[in-house]
Amino acid sequence: MADFEINEAQMGAVSSLAIVVASAFYLVWGYLYDRFARPKLLAVAPFIWGAPTWLNVLAPTYPIFLATRSSTGIDDASYPGVFSLLSDYFEPRPRGKVYGHMQMSGPLGYMVGTVLATMLGGTLGWRNVFLIAGAAGFGVAVGILLTVRDRPRGSAEPEPQVIEELGGYRIDGHAVRGLFRSRTYLLLVAQGFFGVFPWNVLAFWVFRYLETERGYTGTQAMPTMLVAIVALSAGYFVGGALGDRLFGRSTRGRIAVAGVGVLAGAVFLVLTMSVAADNLALFIPL
């Protein structure tokens, strides 16, 4: 923001435009994953993340930075292939723990990136930090290409007839329309739509909030965030494992865990935001 002399609204537009791009590309990635080899597409995704990140480094002005940064939204929409591939590696019963392990990588990576940015940003500058991040993308792309192998679609499902039914790919309009008659699907979409509001606010602006609204220094904001990220990482695994356990007793088990988690998150978020700025002892654990 200081480098380009922009305000918070302009900085927010950088993230917002990337989300718009990602929204458009979710359907594109989903179609491609159903039709082509998933590991190769998964390798393309981090390459698309690394290349625009390096272009960010070269951006001389805010409009060019806005354009290059928004293009990183393309790979943000690539996650459906991860879930699709994992579902063919693991049978239904342990998938909650599997997804929990995978989801832990997000907040842990966020924590490592935050620490690196805080430690190196002042000495190297944000452009050099972006160079490091882009290089990591290229490294991940090569790693996926060399090590990840595809699996037959539906091979981990317990019903053998599923495999027999999987043939050439085509879009089934009747099946697509049927999704919008499923209450479970519609509720999950609604939760994702509304649930992403506070998550994006926290992910993009929490450090700015801690420093400008609550008056914390960088040394105070860092441990506050680290505690939250560790709890978030643990929550992914605990939620997945607990969902698996309850799924063994009832097919609604995972829905119950997810529902309680969303409700608890909302309650604790409201409580946390209401704590006085000088009460670190209560704010950090909440």
pLDDT tens per residue, range 20-53: 999 899 989 998 998 889 999 999 999 998 998 9
Q: Which of 170, 200, 223 is the last residue of a domain?
A: 170
Q: Can you give the residue range of the structural domain that contains 209?
A: 180-286
Q: Which long-range contacts (CB under 8 A, 24 or more apart) does 211-214 make?
A: 213/277, 214/277, 214/283
Domain count, the chain: 2
The answer to whether the beta carbons of residues 39 and 149 sit under 8 Å apart is yes
Q: Both 39 and 4 in a single domain? A: yes
The pLDDT, as a whole number, for residue 170 is 66
pLDDT of residue 163: 52
**Domain final residue pick, 131, 147, 170:** 170
CATH, residue 163: 1.20.1250.20
**Mean pLDDT over all residues of the chain?**
86
What is the amino acid identity at position 19? I
Widest pairwise Cα distance in the chain: 63
Percent over 90 (pLDDT), the chain:
32
Model confidence band, residue 185 (pLDDT cutoffs 50, 70, 90)? confident
